Structure 1
Amino acid sequence: MKGRPFKVLGIQQIAIGGPDKQRLQKLWVEMLGLEVTGTFRSERENVDEDICAIGSGPFKVEVDLMQPLDPEKKPAVHTTPLNHIGLWIDDLPRAVEWLTAQGVRFAPGGIRKGAAGYDITFLHPKSNDEFPIAGEGVLVELVQAPPEVIAAYSAIM
Protein backbone atom coordinates (compact mmCIF):
# COMPACT_ATOMS: atom_id res chain seq x y z
CA MET A 1 0.00 0.00 0.00
CA LYS A 2 1.36 3.39 -0.96
CA GLY A 3 2.39 5.64 1.89
CA ARG A 4 3.21 2.86 4.37
CA PRO A 5 5.81 4.43 6.74
CA PHE A 6 7.55 1.16 7.66
CA LYS A 7 8.83 -2.08 6.11
CA VAL A 8 8.41 -5.71 7.03
CA LEU A 9 11.99 -6.94 6.64
CA GLY A 10 11.65 -10.68 7.18
CA ILE A 11 10.65 -13.43 9.58
CA GLN A 12 12.03 -12.95 13.08
CA GLN A 13 10.45 -16.00 14.71
CA ILE A 14 8.04 -18.89 14.59
CA ALA A 15 6.50 -19.92 17.92
CA ILE A 16 5.22 -23.45 18.37
CA GLY A 17 3.17 -24.44 21.40
CA GLY A 18 2.38 -27.78 22.96
CA PRO A 19 1.49 -29.28 26.33
CA ASP A 20 5.06 -30.63 26.77
CA LYS A 21 8.04 -28.82 25.27
CA GLN A 22 10.19 -31.96 25.69
CA ARG A 23 8.16 -33.53 22.88
CA LEU A 24 8.73 -30.43 20.75
CA GLN A 25 12.47 -30.60 21.51
CA LYS A 26 12.58 -34.20 20.31
CA LEU A 27 11.69 -33.08 16.77
CA TRP A 28 13.17 -29.58 16.53
CA VAL A 29 16.39 -30.03 18.54
CA GLU A 30 17.21 -33.75 18.47
CA MET A 31 15.91 -34.67 15.00
CA LEU A 32 16.26 -31.41 13.03
CA GLY A 33 19.34 -30.09 14.84
CA LEU A 34 18.22 -26.64 15.95
CA GLU A 35 20.38 -25.10 18.65
CA VAL A 36 18.80 -24.02 21.95
CA THR A 37 20.09 -20.48 22.43
CA GLY A 38 18.10 -19.50 25.52
CA THR A 39 15.06 -19.98 27.70
CA PHE A 40 12.24 -17.72 28.86
CA ARG A 41 9.70 -18.13 31.66
CA SER A 42 6.90 -15.69 32.40
CA GLU A 43 3.99 -16.04 34.80
CA ARG A 44 2.27 -13.08 33.09
CA GLU A 45 2.55 -14.71 29.66
CA ASN A 46 1.91 -18.22 31.13
CA VAL A 47 4.87 -19.62 29.22
CA ASP A 48 7.95 -21.77 29.67
CA GLU A 49 9.87 -21.69 26.39
CA ASP A 50 13.11 -22.75 24.82
CA ILE A 51 14.45 -20.30 22.27
CA CYS A 52 16.08 -22.13 19.34
CA ALA A 53 17.68 -20.85 16.15
CA ILE A 54 17.88 -21.54 12.42
CA GLY A 55 20.57 -19.68 10.46
CA SER A 56 22.88 -17.00 11.80
CA GLY A 57 23.61 -13.30 11.95
CA PRO A 58 20.90 -10.88 10.87
CA PHE A 59 19.10 -13.67 8.99
CA LYS A 60 18.76 -15.92 12.04
CA VAL A 61 15.18 -17.04 12.67
CA GLU A 62 14.04 -17.93 16.19
CA VAL A 63 11.95 -21.05 16.70
CA ASP A 64 10.34 -20.84 20.14
CA LEU A 65 9.17 -24.12 21.67
CA MET A 66 6.52 -23.23 24.23
CA GLN A 67 4.51 -24.94 26.93
CA PRO A 68 2.14 -23.32 29.42
CA LEU A 69 3.19 -22.95 33.05
CA ASP A 70 -0.43 -23.73 33.91
CA PRO A 71 -2.51 -25.45 31.19
CA GLU A 72 -5.72 -24.08 32.74
CA LYS A 73 -4.69 -20.39 32.49
CA LYS A 74 -4.59 -17.86 29.67
CA PRO A 75 -2.82 -17.20 27.43
CA ALA A 76 -3.03 -20.83 26.41
CA VAL A 77 0.24 -21.06 24.45
CA HIS A 78 -0.34 -24.75 23.76
CA THR A 79 -3.85 -24.75 22.28
CA THR A 80 -2.76 -23.45 18.89
CA PRO A 81 0.27 -25.49 17.81
CA LEU A 82 1.52 -22.72 15.52
CA ASN A 83 1.18 -20.11 18.25
CA HIS A 84 2.42 -17.06 16.35
CA ILE A 85 4.81 -15.73 13.74
CA GLY A 86 7.11 -12.79 14.38
CA LEU A 87 8.03 -10.27 11.70
CA TRP A 88 11.02 -7.91 11.77
CA ILE A 89 9.79 -4.31 11.44
CA ASP A 90 12.13 -1.40 10.68
CA ASP A 91 10.15 1.21 12.70
CA LEU A 92 7.80 -0.41 15.21
CA PRO A 93 6.24 2.75 16.75
CA ARG A 94 5.42 4.17 13.30
CA ALA A 95 4.07 0.79 12.20
CA VAL A 96 1.74 0.59 15.22
CA GLU A 97 0.53 4.16 14.74
CA TRP A 98 -0.13 3.69 11.02
CA LEU A 99 -1.70 0.23 11.29
CA THR A 100 -4.00 1.37 14.11
CA ALA A 101 -5.14 4.31 11.96
CA GLN A 102 -5.92 1.83 9.15
CA GLY A 103 -8.19 -0.24 11.44
CA VAL A 104 -5.81 -3.01 12.48
CA ARG A 105 -6.60 -4.55 15.87
CA PHE A 106 -3.75 -5.06 18.32
CA ALA A 107 -3.75 -7.42 21.29
CA PRO A 108 -3.63 -5.81 24.75
CA GLY A 109 -0.22 -4.94 26.18
CA GLY A 110 1.13 -2.36 23.75
CA ILE A 111 4.80 -2.19 22.79
CA ARG A 112 6.98 -3.94 25.35
CA LYS A 113 10.19 -5.96 25.70
CA GLY A 114 9.85 -9.51 24.37
CA ALA A 115 11.60 -12.73 25.40
CA ALA A 116 14.61 -12.03 23.14
CA GLY A 117 14.98 -8.46 24.42
CA TYR A 118 13.51 -6.64 21.40
CA ASP A 119 10.52 -4.31 21.53
CA ILE A 120 7.42 -6.20 20.41
CA THR A 121 3.66 -5.97 20.06
CA PHE A 122 1.01 -8.37 18.74
CA LEU A 123 -1.69 -8.06 16.11
CA HIS A 124 -4.88 -9.61 17.48
CA PRO A 125 -5.99 -12.83 15.77
CA LYS A 126 -9.63 -11.66 15.60
CA SER A 127 -11.12 -8.44 14.31
CA ASN A 128 -14.00 -6.53 15.88
CA ASP A 129 -16.34 -3.70 14.86
CA GLU A 130 -13.90 -0.97 15.90
CA PHE A 131 -10.87 -2.64 14.30
CA PRO A 132 -12.00 -4.68 11.26
CA ILE A 133 -8.50 -5.88 10.24
CA ALA A 134 -6.76 -8.62 12.25
CA GLY A 135 -4.76 -11.84 11.88
CA GLU A 136 -7.74 -13.93 10.73
CA GLY A 137 -7.00 -16.57 13.36
CA VAL A 138 -3.21 -16.10 13.43
CA LEU A 139 -1.44 -14.17 16.18
CA VAL A 140 1.23 -11.98 14.53
CA GLU A 141 4.09 -10.48 16.52
CA LEU A 142 5.73 -7.32 15.23
CA VAL A 143 9.36 -7.07 16.37
CA GLN A 144 11.56 -3.96 16.24
CA ALA A 145 14.58 -4.94 14.15
CA PRO A 146 17.97 -3.89 15.55
CA PRO A 147 20.23 -1.72 13.34
CA GLU A 148 22.31 -4.65 12.03
CA VAL A 149 19.17 -6.48 10.82
CA ILE A 150 17.82 -3.32 9.18
CA ALA A 151 21.18 -2.80 7.42
CA ALA A 152 21.44 -6.43 6.27
CA TYR A 153 17.93 -6.46 4.80
CA SER A 154 18.43 -3.02 3.23
CA ALA A 155 21.46 -4.41 1.38
CA ILE A 156 19.37 -7.14 -0.29
CA MET A 157 16.06 -5.31 -0.82
Structure 2
Amino acid sequence: MAERPFRILGVQQVAIGASDRTRLHDLWVGLLGAQPKGTFRSEKENVDEEITTFGRGLGEIEFDLMAPVDPEGSPRVHQPALNHIGLWVDDLEAAFSWLGERGVRFTPGGIRKGAAGHSVCFIHPKGGGETPLGGEGVLIELVQAPAAIVRAYDAHAE
Protein backbone atom coordinates (compact mmCIF):
# COMPACT_ATOMS: atom_id res chain seq x y z
CA MET A 1 0.00 0.00 0.00
CA ALA A 2 1.27 3.49 -0.83
CA GLU A 3 2.55 5.62 2.01
CA ARG A 4 -0.13 7.86 3.50
CA PRO A 5 0.45 11.59 2.79
CA PHE A 6 -1.03 12.52 6.19
CA ARG A 7 -0.90 11.48 9.85
CA ILE A 8 -3.59 10.97 12.46
CA LEU A 9 -2.26 12.87 15.50
CA GLY A 10 -4.79 11.89 18.16
CA VAL A 11 -8.37 12.26 19.36
CA GLN A 12 -9.83 15.74 18.87
CA GLN A 13 -13.38 15.09 20.06
CA VAL A 14 -16.06 12.66 21.10
CA ALA A 15 -19.66 13.54 20.24
CA ILE A 16 -22.44 12.08 22.35
CA GLY A 17 -26.11 12.39 21.49
CA ALA A 18 -29.37 12.10 23.40
CA SER A 19 -32.92 13.29 22.89
CA ASP A 20 -32.50 15.66 25.87
CA ARG A 21 -29.30 17.72 26.05
CA THR A 22 -30.09 18.81 29.63
CA ARG A 23 -29.52 15.29 30.91
CA LEU A 24 -26.21 15.11 29.06
CA HIS A 25 -25.17 18.45 30.61
CA ASP A 26 -26.13 17.27 34.10
CA LEU A 27 -23.94 14.17 33.76
CA TRP A 28 -20.92 15.44 31.78
CA VAL A 29 -20.67 18.98 33.20
CA GLY A 30 -22.45 18.70 36.54
CA LEU A 31 -21.10 15.35 37.72
CA LEU A 32 -18.01 14.55 35.64
CA GLY A 33 -16.60 18.09 35.47
CA ALA A 34 -16.45 18.85 31.75
CA GLN A 35 -15.83 22.56 31.14
CA PRO A 36 -18.45 24.38 29.00
CA LYS A 37 -16.84 26.18 26.03
CA GLY A 38 -19.78 27.21 23.87
CA THR A 39 -22.79 26.09 21.89
CA PHE A 40 -23.59 25.39 18.26
CA ARG A 41 -27.01 25.11 16.66
CA SER A 42 -27.79 24.24 13.05
CA GLU A 43 -31.25 23.56 11.66
CA LYS A 44 -29.60 22.22 8.48
CA GLU A 45 -27.52 19.69 10.44
CA ASN A 46 -30.41 19.07 12.90
CA VAL A 47 -28.14 19.65 15.88
CA ASP A 48 -28.24 21.67 19.07
CA GLU A 49 -24.98 21.05 20.90
CA GLU A 50 -23.02 22.19 23.89
CA ILE A 51 -19.26 22.11 23.36
CA THR A 52 -17.39 21.04 26.50
CA THR A 53 -13.83 19.93 27.19
CA PHE A 54 -11.68 17.83 29.48
CA GLY A 55 -7.97 18.47 29.85
CA ARG A 56 -5.92 21.59 29.15
CA GLY A 57 -3.74 23.04 26.44
CA LEU A 58 -2.66 20.64 23.74
CA GLY A 59 -4.13 17.74 25.74
CA GLU A 60 -7.63 19.20 25.68
CA ILE A 61 -10.29 16.91 24.20
CA GLU A 62 -13.67 18.25 23.14
CA PHE A 63 -16.84 16.46 24.24
CA ASP A 64 -19.84 17.59 22.21
CA LEU A 65 -23.19 17.04 23.93
CA MET A 66 -25.73 16.81 21.10
CA ALA A 67 -29.50 16.74 20.79
CA PRO A 68 -31.60 16.97 17.64
CA VAL A 69 -33.37 20.23 16.81
CA ASP A 70 -36.15 18.02 15.40
CA PRO A 71 -36.24 14.51 16.93
CA GLU A 72 -37.92 13.17 13.78
CA GLY A 73 -35.53 15.00 11.43
CA SER A 74 -32.30 13.94 9.80
CA PRO A 75 -29.55 13.40 10.61
CA ARG A 76 -30.54 11.68 13.83
CA VAL A 77 -27.70 13.05 15.97
CA HIS A 78 -28.96 11.19 19.04
CA GLN A 79 -28.95 7.73 17.45
CA PRO A 80 -26.62 6.04 18.11
CA ALA A 81 -25.70 7.73 21.37
CA LEU A 82 -22.00 7.76 20.42
CA ASN A 83 -22.56 10.06 17.45
CA HIS A 84 -19.00 10.35 16.18
CA ILE A 85 -15.33 10.60 17.03
CA GLY A 86 -13.05 13.33 15.75
CA LEU A 87 -9.41 12.76 14.89
CA TRP A 88 -6.71 15.42 14.47
CA VAL A 89 -5.11 15.18 11.00
CA ASP A 90 -1.96 17.03 9.99
CA ASP A 91 -3.03 17.50 6.33
CA LEU A 92 -6.79 17.29 5.89
CA GLU A 93 -6.82 17.97 2.14
CA ALA A 94 -4.27 15.19 1.52
CA ALA A 95 -6.26 12.82 3.75
CA PHE A 96 -9.54 13.61 1.97
CA SER A 97 -8.02 13.11 -1.47
CA TRP A 98 -5.96 10.01 -0.65
CA LEU A 99 -8.74 8.23 1.23
CA GLY A 100 -11.30 9.11 -1.44
CA GLU A 101 -9.05 7.66 -4.16
CA ARG A 102 -8.99 4.42 -2.18
CA GLY A 103 -12.76 4.01 -1.96
CA VAL A 104 -13.59 5.76 1.32
CA ARG A 105 -17.09 7.22 1.35
CA PHE A 106 -17.44 10.72 2.78
CA THR A 107 -20.64 12.45 3.84
CA PRO A 108 -21.94 15.16 1.48
CA GLY A 109 -20.34 18.57 1.85
CA GLY A 110 -16.66 17.68 1.53
CA ILE A 111 -14.22 19.74 3.55
CA ARG A 112 -15.93 22.56 5.44
CA LYS A 113 -15.72 24.60 8.64
CA GLY A 114 -16.86 22.65 11.70
CA ALA A 115 -18.64 23.81 14.85
CA ALA A 116 -15.34 24.59 16.63
CA GLY A 117 -14.00 26.56 13.66
CA HIS A 118 -11.58 23.96 12.28
CA SER A 119 -11.76 22.56 8.74
CA VAL A 120 -13.40 19.14 8.84
CA CYS A 121 -14.80 16.32 6.74
CA PHE A 122 -16.65 13.16 7.75
CA ILE A 123 -16.14 9.53 6.79
CA HIS A 124 -19.63 8.08 6.30
CA PRO A 125 -20.63 5.31 8.74
CA LYS A 126 -21.46 3.03 5.80
CA GLY A 127 -19.69 2.38 2.54
CA GLY A 128 -21.60 1.79 -0.65
CA GLY A 129 -21.40 1.58 -4.43
CA GLU A 130 -18.23 3.12 -5.85
CA THR A 131 -17.06 4.07 -2.35
CA PRO A 132 -17.31 0.77 -0.47
CA LEU A 133 -15.30 1.77 2.61
CA GLY A 134 -17.01 3.51 5.52
CA GLY A 135 -16.73 3.72 9.29
CA GLU A 136 -18.43 0.35 9.86
CA GLY A 137 -21.24 2.01 11.78
CA VAL A 138 -19.19 4.89 13.24
CA LEU A 139 -19.20 8.42 11.83
CA ILE A 140 -15.55 9.59 11.81
CA GLU A 141 -14.71 13.29 11.70
CA LEU A 142 -11.29 14.24 10.34
CA VAL A 143 -10.21 17.61 11.74
CA GLN A 144 -7.39 19.80 10.45
CA ALA A 145 -4.96 20.10 13.35
CA PRO A 146 -3.70 23.59 14.22
CA ALA A 147 0.04 24.14 13.75
CA ALA A 148 0.63 23.94 17.52
CA ILE A 149 -0.80 20.40 17.65
CA VAL A 150 1.37 19.31 14.70
CA ARG A 151 4.49 20.82 16.31
CA ALA A 152 3.74 19.14 19.65
CA TYR A 153 3.23 15.80 17.91
CA ASP A 154 6.51 16.16 16.02
CA ALA A 155 8.35 17.16 19.20
CA HIS A 156 7.41 13.82 20.78
CA ALA A 157 8.40 11.68 17.78
CA GLU A 158 10.74 8.83 18.52
Question: Which of the five TM-score ranges fits, normalised by the shorter chain?
Answer: over 0.9
Is 2:49 the partner of 1:49? yes
Q: How far, CA to CA, are the matches of 1:156 and 1:42 in structure 2?
A: 38
* TM norm structure 1: 0.97
* TM norm structure 2: 0.97
Q: How far, CA to CA, are the matches of 1:69 and 1:132 in structure 2?
A: 31
Q: How far, CA to CA, are the matches of 1:102 and 1:2 in structure 2?
A: 10
Q: How far, CA to CA, are the matches of 1:57 and 1:36 in structure 2?
A: 15
- The one-letter amino acid paired with 2:156 is I
Deviation, 1:38, is 0.7
Is 2:26 the partner of 1:26? yes
The match for 1:64 is 64
The match for 2:83 is 83
Is 2:9 the partner of 1:9? yes
Q: How far, CA to CA, are the matches of 2:38 and 2:10 in structure 1?
A: 21
Aligned residues: 157
Q: Give structure 1 regions of 4+ aligned residues with deviation exceeding 2 angstroms.
A: none
Deviation, 1:129, is 2.5
Structure 2: stretches of 5+ with no match in the other structure: none
Structure 1: stretches of 5+ with no match in the other structure: none
Q: How far, CA to CA, are the matches of 2:114 and 2:103 in structure 1?
A: 24
Percent sequence identity over matched residues? 58
1:15-72 per-position Cα deviation (integer Å, ceiling 9, x unaligned): 0000001101111111100110111011111111000001111221000000011111
Q: How far, CA to CA, are the matches of 2:45 and 2:156 in structure 1?
A: 35
The match for 1:137 is 137
